[in-house]
């Protein structure tokens, strides 16, 4: 069928055949040393078959202490070959199935406050934050020192080089969802080189982007998944004014710098999946109607796209409309909100959704994501993430065991 989603677009002198992006979705299913394991491979081969033009590989740690869980992917000398094999296989599968090679971007991350490398919290924070720490004040918090920050950019450089050698087309320096770089953007009261002024709060993020660029040269492009606003009440987080209204002034200043650094595509997101998940991913059983959340993402993304028409924007949160997700994605592109439609939870529930839409002009009601948050529950309960409803054969046993705590047999 004819759809704007199936039109090609150029980025970094490469032609992407369609507007579908599979957003980064952590599966928490790597090997303990951070390499690709059986379920990781299964997910990404399904993604490669999907026909999406861009596959944005999940959060992948650059250092052991910054892993979000003991099975988070972690690219290092020992694991890099497993990434290389998977990327090559994905390209081959997509070429054979769909007639093109997708762009594959890896999201490099340091989980900062949400680091749990050994399965229990070992936060590394930009500053102490009452909102976050309520009830958890006695937990040990390591404040990232200025020297530690300097070491992080080195780690990004090393990881980026390995990612380039593994065959990734692009490197995402992740700055969203409350992880380390995102938290630094609101380090208003931190002293020293990485806190206080706008220049200081953005220093770590920009240093790491520069380190990645230096490391990969022209071999891979550098991009970012970026929180336009954190949506915490003032003065926590960044991106809201004193009346708690969203204020994108700082996000615009940051994007201006990102453009100067040569970024042609930016993946826009907002909120925080731990404290206010409904803002990041409109869902059922939420404090607000999902349509309100969807509209918030629309408004924020549109304001940024209007300000930076030359930047290719990926929109987030497109799973919520369920059966109507593709029509909603078309609307966003037609209304110039974004250039790419990014899907997260739908990719776990229904990876062949784009092909079904091209073939039948609609999505299948009994295959779409139900926005029930069970994939998140799996992750928060320390096991592998997937869809226990639509992909129940694989993930329901994990849901029963780790979330419902039902014993087997
Ligand atoms: C289980 C799970 C894992 C996720 N992992 C990541 C991740 O690794 N990196 C990231 O930037 N966002 C991650 N997200 C957020 C999604 O990419 C996406 O922004 C969010 O689900 C909203 O989009 P959707 O409505 O299409 O699901 C994750 C979300 C879920 C539910």
Per-residue model confidence (pLDDT) at position 181: 98
Confidence of residue 317 (pLDDT cuts 50, 70, 90): very high
Q: Roughly how many angstroms between the first and final C-alpha of the chain, as a whole number?
A: 47
Ligand 1 centroid to residue 379 C-alpha, Å: 11
Kindly calculate the radius of gyration of the chain based on its CA atoms and give it in whole angstroms.
20
Q: What percent of the chain has pLDDT over 70?
A: 99
Mean pLDDT of 258-267: 98
Residue with tokens 């958890």: 136
Mean pLDDT of 101-121: 97
Pair of tokens at residue 375: 């994939």
Ligand 1 centroid to residue 147 C-alpha, Å: 31
CB atoms within 10 A of CB 1: 11
Per-residue model confidence (pLDDT) at position 408: 62
Mean pLDDT of 369-380: 97
Summary mean pLDDT of the chain: 96
Per-residue model confidence (pLDDT) at position 146: 98
Backbone angles phi, psi at 246, to 5 degrees: -60, 135
What's the DSSP call for residue 400?
I
As a whole number of angstroms, the distance between CA 35 and CA 99 comes to 28
Per-residue model confidence (pLDDT) at position 94: 98
Whole-number Cα distances in Å, 62 to 74, 80, 137, 152, 156: 6, 12, 27, 8, 6
Q: What residue ranges line ligand 1, CB within 6 angstroms?
A: 23-26, 58-59, 107, 176-177, 225, 269, 280-281, 316-320, 343-346, 375-376, 379, 385
Confidence of residue 132 (pLDDT cuts 50, 70, 90): confident
Mutate to test the pocket of ligand 1, among 68, 109, 281 (most ligand atoms within 8 A of CB): 281
Phi and psi based region of residue 13 (left: phi greater than 0; alpha: psi -120 to 50; beta: remaining): left
Pairing of strands 340-343, 20-22: parallel
Q: Is 11 helix (H, G, I), strand (E, B) or coil?
A: strand
C-alpha dihedral (175, 228, 327, 16), degrees to nearest 10: -50
Nearest partner of 127 among 178, 91, 163, judged by Cα = 178
CB 267 within 8 A of CB 255: no
Ligand 1 centroid to residue 192 C-alpha, Å: 33
Confidence of residue 409 (pLDDT cuts 50, 70, 90): low
Per-residue model confidence (pLDDT) at position 101: 98
Per-residue model confidence (pLDDT) at position 285: 87
Q: Mind listing the pLDDT tens digit for each residue in 44-68?
A: 999 999 999 999 999 999 999 999 9
Please provide the DSSP assignment of 287-312 as one string. SS-HHHHHHHHHHHHHHHHHH-TTSE
Determine which residue's CA is closest to atom 12 belonging to ligand 1.
24
Tell me which of 236 and 81 has the higher pLDDT. 81
Q: Mind listing the pLDDT tens digit for each residue in 12-41?
A: 999 999 999 999 999 999 999 999 999 999
Mutate to test the pocket of ligand 1, among 27, 74, 344, 381 (most ligand atoms within 8 A of CB): 344
Q: What percent of the chain has pLDDT over 90?
A: 94
| Chain centroid to CA 267 | 8
Residues 6+ away with beta carbon under 8 Å from 385 = 25, 26, 27, 28, 29, 348, 375, 376, 378, 379
Confidence of residue 1 (pLDDT cuts 50, 70, 90): confident
Pairing of strands 14-16, 9-11: antiparallel
Confidence of residue 131 (pLDDT cuts 50, 70, 90): confident
3-state helix, strand, coil in the chain (%, to 5): 40, 15, 45
Q: Is 124 helix (H, G, I), strand (E, B) or coil?
A: strand
Looking from the CA of residue 348, the nearest atom of ligand 1 is 1
Instruction: Give the total residue count for the chain.
Output: 409
Whether the predicted pLDDT of 208 surpasses 90: yes
């Amino acid at each position: 069928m004819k759809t704007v989603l199936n039109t090609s677009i150029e980025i970094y002198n490469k032609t992407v055949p369609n507007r579908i992006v599979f957003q980064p979705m952590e599966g928490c299913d790597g090997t303990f040393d951070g390499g690709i394991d059986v379920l990781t491979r299964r997910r990404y081969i399904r993604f490669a078959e999907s026909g999406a033009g861009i596959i944005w590989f999940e959060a992948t740690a650059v250092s052991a202490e910054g892993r979000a869980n003991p099975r988070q992917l972690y690219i290092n000398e020992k694991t890099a070959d497993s990434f290389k094999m998977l990327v090559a296989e994905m390209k081959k599968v997509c070429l054979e199935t769909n007639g093109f090679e997708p762009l594959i971007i890896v999201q490099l991350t340091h989980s900062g406050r949400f680091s749990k490398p050994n399965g229990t919290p070992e936060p590394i924070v930009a500053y102490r934050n009452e909102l976050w720490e309520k009830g958890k004040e006695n937990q040990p918090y390591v404040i990232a020192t200025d020297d530690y920050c300097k070491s992080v950019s080195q780690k990004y450089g090393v990881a980026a080089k390995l990612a380039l050698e593994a065959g990734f087309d692009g490197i995402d320096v992740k700055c969203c969802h409350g992880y380390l770089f995102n938290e630094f953007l609101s380090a208003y009261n931190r002293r020293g080189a990485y806190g206080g002024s706008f220049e200081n709060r953005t220093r770590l993020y920009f240093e790491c982007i520069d380190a990645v660029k230096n490391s990969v040269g022209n071999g891979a492009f550098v991009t970012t998944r970026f929180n336009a606003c954190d949506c915490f009440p003032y003065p926590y987080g960044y991106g809201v004014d004193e009346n708690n209204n969203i204020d994108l002034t700082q996000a615009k200043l940051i994007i201006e710098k990102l453009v100067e650094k040569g970024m042609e595509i930016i993946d826009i997101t907002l909120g925080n999946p731990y404290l206010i998940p409904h803002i990041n991913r409109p869902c059922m059983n939420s404090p607000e109607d999902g349509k309100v959340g969807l509209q918030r993402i629309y408004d924020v993304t549109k304001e940024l796209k209007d300000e930076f028409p030359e930047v290719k924007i990926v929109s987030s949160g497109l799973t919520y409309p369920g059966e109507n997700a593709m029509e909603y994605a078309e609307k966003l592109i037609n209304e110039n909100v974004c250039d790419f439609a990014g899907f997260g939870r739908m990719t776990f529930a229904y990876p062949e959704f784009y092909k079904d839409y091209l073939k039948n002009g609609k999505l299948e009601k009994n295959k779409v994501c139900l926005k029930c948050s069970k994939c998140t529950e799996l992750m928060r309960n320390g096991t592998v993430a997937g869809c226990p409803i639509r992909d129940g054969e694989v993930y329901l046993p994990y849901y029963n065991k780790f979330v419902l705590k039902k014993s087997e047999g």
